[in-house]
Amino acid sequence: MSSDKRVFVCTTSELAPGAMKLVEREDGNLTAYNVEGTFYVTEDRCSHGLASLAEGAIIGDEIECPMHFGMFNIKTGEPTAAPCSIAIRTYPVQIDGEQVFAVVG
Ligand code: FES
């Protein structure tokens, strides 16, 4: 039996390529991204501070934090620009019809 939990994040038509969205939830907010037609989900909070990554900017396949402009790879969560040095969590994405879900622990 799986303990995975699916969280609805958006519909496939809701996020155009290059767009992202804040997904608020009690267990920690998420950010959903459309990178060149593929959906990704990460935790929303920057690992460097209290910033919301959904308020940042997508540059290629990276998210730039709005606070100190550190960056992470959206696909892997790895930090790609200082001052970020700790990876953010990424979540597997499942698409059911037009609904996009994140699989959270
Ligand atoms: S809070 Fe994100 S780079 Fe500092």
User: Per-residue pLDDT tens for 36-55?
Assistant: 999 999 999 999 999 999 99
Q: Is 81 in the pocket of ligand 1 (CB under 6 A)?
A: no
Q: Over 60: is that where the pLDDT of 12 sits?
A: yes
Q: How far apart are CA 91 and CA 11, in angstroms?
A: 17
Give me ligand 1 centre to Cα 75, in Å.
Answer: 18
CATH classification of 5-104, choosing from 2.60.40.650, 2.20.25.90, 2.102.10.10, 1.10.10.10?
Answer: 2.102.10.10
Say if residues 92 and 103 touch (Cβ distance below 8 Å): yes
Is the predicted pLDDT of residue 4 greater than 80, yes or no? Answer: no
Nearest Cα neighbor of 87 from 103, 104, 68, 73 is 73
- Average pLDDT, stretch 63-83? 98
Residue of the nearest CA to atom 1 in ligand 1? 49
> Does residue 6 have its Cβ closer than 6 Å to ligand 1?
no
pLDDT at 2 (0 to 100): 55
- Spatial CA neighbour of 20 closest among 97, 100, 94: 100
